[in-house]
Amino acid sequence: MTPLLSVEGLHVGVAASRETAATTILRDVSFMINAGETVGLLGASGSGKTSLALALLGLLPPALNVRGQVLFDGLDVVSASEGARRALRGRRLSMVFQEPLTALNPRLRVGAQVAEVACAHGERDAGRATRTAVDMLGRAGLPEPDERARRFPHELSGGERQRVLLAMALLLDPALLIADEPTSALDVEVQAQVLTLLRTQQRERGMALLLVSHDLGVIATTCARTMVLHDARVVEDAPTRQLLATPEHPQSRALVAAVRPGAQSA
Ligand SMILES: Nc1ncnc2c1ncn2[C@@H]1O[C@H](COP(=O)(O)OP(=O)(O)O)[C@@H](O)[C@H]1O
Ligand SMILES: [Mg+2]
């Protein structure tokens, strides 16, 4: 089976400037994701998770040095034109960003923002785009979607805003959804609801999911496989159950110990 996504020797670096030395954000990262697979990207803050997610979408700032190959649907995201990348994003590949408030336009009602996604991808009928948006908001678990759709982002709770972002990301039925810390800003109860929603949508659609988190607890409920990012590298890539039972890399052991206090004392 050809993998959906194949990353080979990905390297992301920051060039030296007058004030700072050159640094490496990602070093020789290689992995694959198959259609329908659920994969967690686990790492401490600053380990490069968001940079890796952005690299997969071709969204890293142009000032960074990017080498290697990111093949999605046969297209190399690293060397493709911006036009080709844009065609991929939001259709076959979409992302829920880390900050729900900054990812939304504060001056536009959320229903209109979701409808805009539908229009950007070919829906010409404004009324139909609005109905699609409200329907998707409902499926993303937003209560009273008709009424909520008319609100501005700041008139929603954090959990509701996260559902709006999820609705936008799911609207185009992507083959791979990347969710970057989608629940980190939410309290535990809402976090569990959003994770359940992600799992249900993933299963119903058979889409692949890359769930980015610093919290192995979050990943373990959702992903069959986990990659551990540390010091700019993927230091472990294993079935989640195996990682929990027998973590190999010291960083993996530390992350497992964080969710299972006592498990590492033997
Ligand atoms: N555009 C950039 N220019 C310079 N350094 C960056 C840039 N983006 C990220 N970094 C650095 O790369 C490292 C990884 O950041 P990030 O990918 O946001 O990690 P994470 O999401 O795991 O917290 C950090 O040290 C961060 O400061
Ligand atoms: Mg991040």
pLDDT in tens, 193-238: 889 989 999 999 999 999 999 999 999 999 999 999 999 999 999 9
Ligand 1 atom closest to residue 51's alpha carbon, by position in its atom list: 17
Per-residue DSSP letter, 30: E
- Size of the chain in residues: 266
| Sequence ranges of the domains in the chain | 5-259
Ligand 1 atom closest to residue 53's alpha carbon, by position in its atom list: 17
pLDDT tier at 172, thresholds 50, 70, 90 = confident
206's tokens: 């058979």
pLDDT in tens, 55-105: 999 999 999 999 999 999 889 999 999 999 988 887 899 999 877 778 899
Pairwise CA distance, residues 250 & 114, whole Å: 43
Q: How many CA atoms lie within 13 A of 203 on its CB side?
A: 9
Residue range 132-159: mean pLDDT, rounded: 93
Ligand 1, pocket residues at CB < 6 Å: 14, 25, 43, 45-51, 61, 64
- Contacts of 191-194 with CB under 8 Å at 24 or more apart are 191/218, 193/141, 193/159, 194/141, 194/159, 194/162, 194/163, 194/166
183's tokens: 């629940």
pLDDT tier at 266, thresholds 50, 70, 90 = very low
Pairwise CA distance, residues 266 & 262, whole Å: 8
Pairwise CA distance, residues 20 & 112, whole Å: 43
pLDDT of 265 above 50: no
User: What does the mean pLDDT of the chain come to?
Assistant: 92
CATH class held by domain 5-259:
alpha beta
DSSP of 80-132, one letter per residue?
Answer: S-HHHHHHHBTTTEEEE-S-TTTTS-TTS-HHHHHHHHHHHTT---HHHHHHH
Residue among 227, 192, 196 nearest 210 (CA) = 227
pLDDT (0 to 100) of residue 141: 87
Going from the Cα of 163 to the center of ligand 2, the distance in angstroms, rounded, reads 19
168-177, 209-218, 244-253: least confident range: 168-177
Residue whose CA is closest, atom 20 of ligand 1? 46
Q: Are 9 and 28 in contact (CB under 8 A)?
A: yes
- Which ligand is the nearest neighbour of the Cα of 229? 1
Ligand 1 atom closest to residue 229's alpha carbon, by position in its atom list: 22
15's tokens: 């060039």
- Which ligand is the nearest neighbour of the Cα of 45? 1
Pairwise CA distance, residues 65 & 92, whole Å: 25
Residue range 147-165: mean pLDDT, rounded: 94
